[in-house]
Chains A and B, each alone.
Chain A
Amino acid sequence: MIFLFIGLPLVVAAFMPLIGKVSKKVAPDVLANAVFLFLLVLAVTSGRQLIGQGPVLQSLSWLGEPLAIQIAVDGFSLFMLMAISLVTFCIGLYSINYMTHYGSKANFYALLLMMVAGMNGLVLVTDLFQLYIFLEVAAVASYALVAFGLEHDELEAAFKYLMLSVVASAAILIAIGLLFGLTGSLGFAAVGDALRGLDAKLAVGFCAALFIMGFGLKAALVPFHAWLPDAHPSAPAPISAVLSGLLIKVSGVYALARIFYNVFGLEAGGALSQALMILGAISIVVAAFLAIRQSDMKRMLAYSSISQVGYVVLGIGIGTPLGVAGGLLHLFNHALAKGLLFLNSGAIQQSTGTRNLDEMGGLAKRMPVTAATSLVGSLSIAGVPPLGGFWSKLLIIMALVQAGHGVLAVVAVLASVVTLWYYLIMQRKAFFGKLNEKWAAVKEAPFWMSAATVLLALLVIGSGIFFAAIIKSWIQPASESLAKGLQTALHGLGGF
């Protein structure tokens, strides 16, 4: 059952180009969205029951013969699967209308499904090398998706993304090779177990530094962020939403957290914790100030993603259960809100032909649904109560104060004010004020695009109103998986 998260999108993707030959638009739309819906239902309903008694390790067999394929689900991976499924479902709906003018929908969905299979695989594997392989599956699909429009800017951004991503992959692979040399194993638990019996702090520290560089590049943490402000705005809007909403978190934050907590055994106040908190804080501040200066809407959102991922890393880096919970809740809230905002920016670009905020103005009159949903997303990311972003930032700030990091708490609060500032600028320039005459004939986004943004906006509002239930059902099991550190990997999933 768990393998369906990887196998189903992989198999459907393999047949998608053939399906595209039969029906260019309808069949790819229906099939891809059916897969996304199925995975969402599977994550929300079956997954919870599956891990009711604790983490589950599943081995596959073929004709009665066991295969060396092991995947595992615990609270953290299930939480990530749910987030991936939820956002990709909304993006699938949006793509029905939006991707029509790009053409080659079957190829688009094939790549999107490959990316989903890669991300799902990454959160389900139990082994460092398999984590690297599925990281590459998602990455290869994402390079092509960034360049999907085939225009000069898109190709250039994809190439830049590819080059920096290759550096990240090399750093990760070197670290995995060194750990294999040190421990003779690749499994999370086996490596964690072997490292405990070794006196190799310098070597482990070097591996940790390589992982921070590699996964930091994937997560676009400052100073490894140079590729993101080009790649995310250049991609088609649904892909920008997946990249900013999901991919940087799965291939960056998830992988980093999983390895640091469940392999290295990150402890609150330790060197790894300090390193993550410092990187997170720098990203929050630097990217927030860079975002203010942007007049390109999608570029501003991209810088905002770097800043908000900084909050996630800061929360997770604290190392306390409250900090981890805050970081994960912010990961979820940001995935929804940033996905929503990128989809809105795509709707505006499709209607007006521009991403330049200075050329917009008064669009709320012509695009009320886009304006309203955009306001919801902006306020959530800025941390305005009672939306989801408020609660996650509050938890992170409380955890910082509780752990004695008062200065970082103040930085987090002030950066949140800066975030509110640039999102209000964006709202004012794009939607409020007098309608620019150029946009007199602009129409609201088509049905499926609006439906996807309304659904995401409702989820953003719901995540604020029902935040306690979300924490109890999804965040707590996820943060427990991390907070238990080595114990989870070694004893909870003995077969790792």
Chain B
Amino acid sequence: MTGHIALLCGIVLFSILAVLAKDLIKAAISLAVASLLLGILFFLMGAPYAGVFEISVVAGLITVLFMLTIALTKTGGDVRESKAVRIAFPVFFIAFIVIDILVMASLLPKIHVLAGGTETGTFGDVLWKQRTFDLVGQLAVILAGVFAVLALFRKRDKDE
């Protein structure tokens, strides 16, 4: 349990660093570390497939994409932001944590979590035989993302 809590604290810490870091590379690395810790947490909580995806895709592949993009586009490097953001974010975050602890402390003991239902099975069974429609939806999300990139990074035509 202590290990779980330590990992959760690490995830929160590196997530905050990812938001606050002025250097984009440091922000991307912080995010990757947070994802890595989350992946380890998934393993410890008995969800190895989620852990593998989290570490390979989020901590690995996406971080590589971030690095490549930063390397290809970096000119000035640091992100400029107002001082108000640096003050407001920690205040908001502390308020959120306090509210979260208070709500969850009263709520969690009253949630009776069931030990598995009708939708359990092996990873392959769940993904391909029970949740096929999710894959269609996720393909659509990816497709929408691709079109968004095509539209937002397009070259303006001469007649525009």
Contact = CB atoms under 8 A, between A and B. Distances in A.
Nearest to A115: B144
A6 B140 CA distance: 10
A102 interface: yes
A102 to B, nearest CB: 7
B156 A141 contact: no
B107 A125 contact: no
A37 B10 CA distance: 53
Interface size class of B (residues with CB under 8 A): 35 or more
Interface string A104-132: 10011011001101100100010101100
Interface string B119-160: 110000000111111101110110111011011101011011
A2 to B, nearest CB: 13
| Listed residue (A127, A140, A190) with the most chain B CB atoms within 10 angstroms of its CB | A140
Given A68-B133, A206-B107, A182 B143 contact: no
Given A17-B147, A103-B159, A182-B111, A150 B152 contact: yes
Contacts of A145: 151
A372 B108 CA distance: 58
Interface residues of A, number: 53
Nearest to A131: B137
Given A102-B160, A148-B151, A117 B134 contact: no
Nearest to B156: A103
A125 B143 contact: no
B157 A103 contact: yes
Given A68-B129, A185-B119, A130 B137 contact: yes
Interface in A84-108: 101-104, 107-108
Contacts of A136: 137, 141
A202 B107 contact: yes
A69 B145 contact: no
A101 B159 CA distance: 7
Contacts of A183: 114, 117
A137 B144 contact: yes
Given A13-B147, A107-B154, A144-B151, A178 B111 contact: yes
Given A101-B160, A184-B116, A137 B137 contact: yes
A10 B119 contact: no
| Listed residue (B106, B128, B131) with the most chain A CB atoms within 10 angstroms of its CB | B131
Contacts of A198: 112
Given A69-B132, A102-B160, A111 B148 contact: yes
B103 interface: yes
A343 B156 CA distance: 24
Interface in A155-200: 178, 181-186, 190, 198, 200
B61 to A, nearest CB: 19
A134 interface: yes
A18 B38 CA distance: 39
B114 A117 contact: no
A67 interface: yes
A70 interface: yes
A103 B144 contact: no
B150 to A, nearest CB: 5
Nearest to B136: A69
A154 to B, nearest CB: 10
A147 B120 CA distance: 41
A34 interface: no
B118 A185 contact: yes
A290 interface: no
A68 B140 contact: no
A67 B135 CA distance: 12
26 contacts: A68-B129, A68-B131, A68-B133, A101-B160, A102-B160, A103-B154, A103-B156, A103-B160, A104-B154, A111-B144, A114-B140, A118-B140, A118-B144, A121-B137, A125-B133, A133-B137, A137-B144, A140-B141, A140-B145, A141-B147, A144-B152, A181-B114, A200-B112, A202-B107, A203-B107, A203-B110
Given A24-B157, A107-B147, A134-B140, 17 more contacts: A13-B147, A68-B128, A68-B131, A69-B136, A103-B157, A104-B154, A129-B134, A133-B134, A140-B145, A143-B148, A145-B151, A182-B113, A185-B117, A198-B112, A202-B107, A206-B103, A206-B107
Interface of A: 6, 10, 13-14, 17, 24, 67-71, 101-104, 107-108, 110-111, 114-115, 117-118, 121, 125, 127, 129-130, 133-134, 136-137, 140-141, 143-145, 147-148, 150, 178, 181-186, 190, 198, 200, 202-203, 206
